Structure formats: structure tokens, C-alpha cells
Structure 1
């Protein structure tokens, strides 16, 4: 029974590490593309990874910071473009 608990703990840690990396990657991509969607995903995944005790704490925090930066970039683009991100014609 003791080995089963250790395996479950390692699996949860691996999942948390994957969430931390995903948070970082989504936050980084979100700076250029789809920041309205990828920013919040990066924030949530980073928070979940930290909550589950990831070994990649720095990546999770950086992913959350990039997710917040995604939303700031979106806000600045909307304000600068007077509410329009794209202009056709």
C-alpha cells in the first residue's frame, strides 16, 4: 500500500509540473496570439500547478506573470485602437 501512495504522489507532481510548463508556454504564445483566451488559461494553469505543489515553481509563477501580461497587452491594444483590434478596408 505504501508504494501505491508514492506512485500517486509522483504522478500528481508530474501533472503539476506539466501544468507549470503549459502555463509558461501558453503565456508566452499569448503575448502574440489569442491573448484573450491564452492569458486566462496561463493564469489558471499556473495557479493550479502552484496549488498542487509543482517542482517547477518558477515556471508556474512566470506563466502566471505572462498570462497577466497577455491581458495587459490586450487592454493596451484595445485602448490604442479605440476599441478595434482589426480594421478592414
Structure 2
């Protein structure tokens, strides 16, 4: 006879889903401002979310792609202006 309920196991899926969404939002925001900072953060969050097995795999992949696009856009503007900053 068991008197106590079995302990719930914390899988961390909710945390990884949050990381996937955060990587998407930061990658999207990084296309407009602070792409040198937000691009790598979006890439890291997406990588961790995918590695941990998020249920929002599409958002994590979009965050990864947008993070890479942030760095590509920055490289294109640096090549065009020869500076590390750019403006509209």
C-alpha cells in the first residue's frame, strides 16, 4: 500500500519552449537593432532549445535562422560602410 503520491518529474519542456520563442523574438528584433548582440543570443537560445527537445521546434529553427540572418545583415552593412554600426 502506497501512502504518498509519486513525485512529479520536471522535464523542463516549458523552459525550452520559452527559449524557442525568445530566440525567435530576439532574432526578429536583431534584424532592426543591436544585431551584433541579439544575433548570437538568438542562435544560442535556439541551439539549446533544439538540443533539449522543445515542442516548438519550428520557432527554434526560425530563431536560429533569424540569428544567422542578423549576423549576415551586419556583415553586409559592415562591408558596405566599413563601420560596425549602421542606420536607416
Q: TM-score, normalised by structure 1?
A: 0.86
SS at match of 2:82: coil
Q: Indicate yes or no: 2:8 matched with 1:4.
A: yes
**Structure 1 stretches lacking a partner, 5+ long:** none
Task: Point out where structure 2 has 5 or more consecutive residues left out of the alignment.
Answer: none
* CA–CA separation in structure 1 for the residues paired with 2:74 and 2:57: 26
From the superposition, tell whether residues 41 and 4 of structure 1 become closer, same or farther in structure 2 (CA, over 3 Å).
same
CA RMSD across the alignment: 1.7
Q: TM-score, normalised by structure 2?
A: 0.87
Higher Rg: 2
